[in-house]
Amino acid sequence: MKLYGSFGSPFTRRVGVTLLLYKLKHEHVVLRGSIPEELEQLKKFNPLARVPALETDDGMALVDSVTILDYLDQQVDSDILLTPREGEQRTKMLNLIGIAAGAVEKSVSCYYEEGVNAKRPADKVYRPWVDKMYEQTKDGLEAIETLIIGPWIMGDRLSQADVSLVCFWDFIKKHRPESAPRLNCPQLEKISEKANLKPEFSATNPD
């Protein structure tokens, strides 16, 4: 398998961490949509030229991290599965990850509005909209904070909730300006610190 995308993308990173945790043989190919020649190569695997993209061993091109993670889950035995195959726990986990994905998507939008790779001139940024997205990110993460069971997000075992949340949290923290409302998520911070000590997370950390 080949994973296309940079770990600067939290969505690419969560796929990368999952591949390592599952010990699935793969090659990581860094492709960034911001570089024209890499963008053209990426279009061969994703017509939207977005990351991540996964090329399977039989040549199938998968796009969107949700689809890719679902495919990877089908490649491993249940005893190491990060997401339950069925039942209430699966629904709860996917719902929690959905909140987190919405929060990080707002942060990504802010990053392109006024981050280091801003696509809009500073005088064209619509401040009320950007500030609202920072608030939405905060509200989503703090809602998740109240749902943490511990020591991992959904209990005693590391799951896809932890993989996704840590990748999302790390991106949000790195790119959140001091002017944005402060995030009050001590449990998420602790889980991120603990997870990043694991080789699967440290190996994919874009820092």
94 within a domain of the structure (yes/no): yes
Check whether residue 94 and residue 191 sit in a common domain.
yes
Q: Quick one: 48 and 123 in the same domain?
A: no
**Quick one: pLDDT at residue 67?**
96
* C-alpha pair distances (Å), 50 with each of 9, 41, 116, 138, 183: 10, 11, 19, 25, 28
Q: What is the CATH number of the domain that holds 167?
A: 1.20.1050.10
Q: Are residues 100 and 33 in the same domain?
A: no
Around 37, how many Cα atoms within 13 Å sit in the side-chain half-sphere? 1
Write down the pLDDT at residue 102: 97
Give CA 73 to chain center in angstroms: 16
State the virtual CA torsion across 3, 206, 92, 52 in degrees, nearest 10.
-30
Tell me, yes or no, whether 109 lies in a domain.
yes
Cβ pair 17, 10 in contact under 8 A: no
**145 assigned to some structural domain:** yes
- φ and ψ at residue 20, rounded to 5 degrees: -70, -45
Looking at the fold, whether 69 and 126 belong to one and the same domain comes out as no
Same domain, 43 and 104: no
115 lies in the same domain as 56: no
Query: How many domains does one find in the chain?
Result: 2
Q: Do residues 135 and 102 touch, judged by C-beta distance below 8 A?
A: no
Q: Are the beta carbons of 16 and 6 closer than 8 angstroms?
A: no
Residue range of the domain that includes 191: 88-202
Residue pLDDT, tens place only, 55-103? 999 989 999 999 999 999 999 999 999 999 999 999 999 999 999 999 9
pLDDT of residue 3: 96
pLDDT, position 172: 96
The pLDDT tens digits of the residues spanning 155-202 come to: 999 999 999 999 999 999 999 999 899 999 999 999 999 999 999 999
In the chain, the DSSP E strands lie at 2-4, 27-29, 53-55, 61-63
**Domain annotation covers residue 207:** no
pLDDT grade for 112, boundaries at 50, 70 and 90: confident
Question: If pLDDT is split at 50, 70 and 90, which confidence band does 114 have?
Answer: confident
Q: Which of 38, 53, 80 is the last residue of a domain?
A: 80
pLDDT for the residue 55: 94
- pTM of the full structure: 0.94
65 and 153: one domain?
no
